[in-house]
Amino acid sequence: MRGQAGRVVSVVTHESPDGDAIGSLLATKHLLERCGAEVHLLCPDPAPAQYSFLAGADRIRPALPPGATPALWVLVDCASLERIGPVADQVGPGARTLNIDHHASNTLFATYNWVQPEASSTGEMIAGLFVAMGLPFADSGPALYTAMVTDTGGFAFESTTPRTHLLAASLLEGGVKPGQMQDLIYNTRQPAALRLLGRALSRLELALDDQVAYLTLEPQDFIQARGRQEHTDGIVNYARSVAGARVGLLFYAIEPGLVRIGIRTKPGVDASWLAAQFGGGGHPRAAGCRFEGAVTEAVSAVLAVLEEHLAQR
């Protein structure tokens, strides 16, 4: 079956992948392989170290192997084609594409679009597909649980529904151990991640009558902490946890001139709306965007938008 026409499939997820991206990518691979496909996993960036325990994570590559000609490209957890960065250059004109996603901002860019904004995560959609097809989760269980638990904030965001919990329960029945998953995902931190966390927390600032808490990291912080982008995962949640804050922000620049902004909000403030003002996107409680300039400029720009927005609420 290897290389047979119609059997080669590329499964792709977005740059700077999170738990839902990696988990959905790997679970889709497992499902397609059961259907007899030869699957290539693509992402502009490697899987973060905290997800390296998932089966197949080491098979993710930034490019197709020589001679591979996919009959279908499956893009998971991508609101637009631009989200796969340079991998998009490998998708030839006229290629058949399938878009599986749960972002309300999805642009319906593919040949076939399966988009469910009401789903808590792309992982929830894939888990539901396993159930609908009558397939056991097997090795896909940890990947699907990772996708669902990370994109729901530990099943705490409003996107969490009874269906989310029912599917999570099915994963537990299939052998997933939640305590073990908690340790693997959240309690196995790299030293660089802790060094960056310490630097960010030392710069905690409050703004707009303490409604906004924000943290900053400069390029020098990454150099001194020997950190990478993946080591920033979860830091923004500390800003959101500040008592009285409605918005938590993390501004970080790995290289000069480009600031990445993580956004977390409490009910009443839409994180995806704020991200969209700067060309980004996400979910009502968790979103992100980029800003060209210095960290201080990004802080001023975002606070200016928030000042007007919060005054109306």
Q: Which CATH code for domain 8-186?
A: 3.90.1640.10
Residue pLDDT, tens place only, 105-147: 899 999 999 999 999 999 999 999 999 999 999 889 999 999 9
Identify the helix (H) or strand (E) that includes residue 247: strand 247-252
Q: Which has more confidence, 93 or 87?
A: 87
Residue that is written with structure tokens 């710069």 in the block: 203
Mean pLDDT along residues 96-107: 95
Identify the helix (H) or strand (E) that includes residue 83: none
Domain boundaries, the chain: 8-186, 191-311
Q: Is the pLDDT of residue 274 over 60?
A: yes
Q: Are 313 and 268 in contact (CB under 8 A)?
A: yes
Identify the helix (H) or strand (E) that includes residue 303: helix 295-311
Residue 71, CB-side half-sphere exposure with 13 Å CA sphere? 11
- Phi and psi, residue 111, nearest 5°: -65, -45
Residues 290 and 288: their CA atoms lie apart, in Å, by 7
For residue 73, the cross-strand partners are 10, 97
Instruction: Return the pLDDT at 5.
Output: 47
Cα–Cα nearest to 251, from 226, 208, 221 = 221
Model confidence, pTM: 0.86
The domain defined by 191-311 carries CATH number 3.10.310.30: yes
Q: Is the pLDDT of residue 1 over 60?
A: no
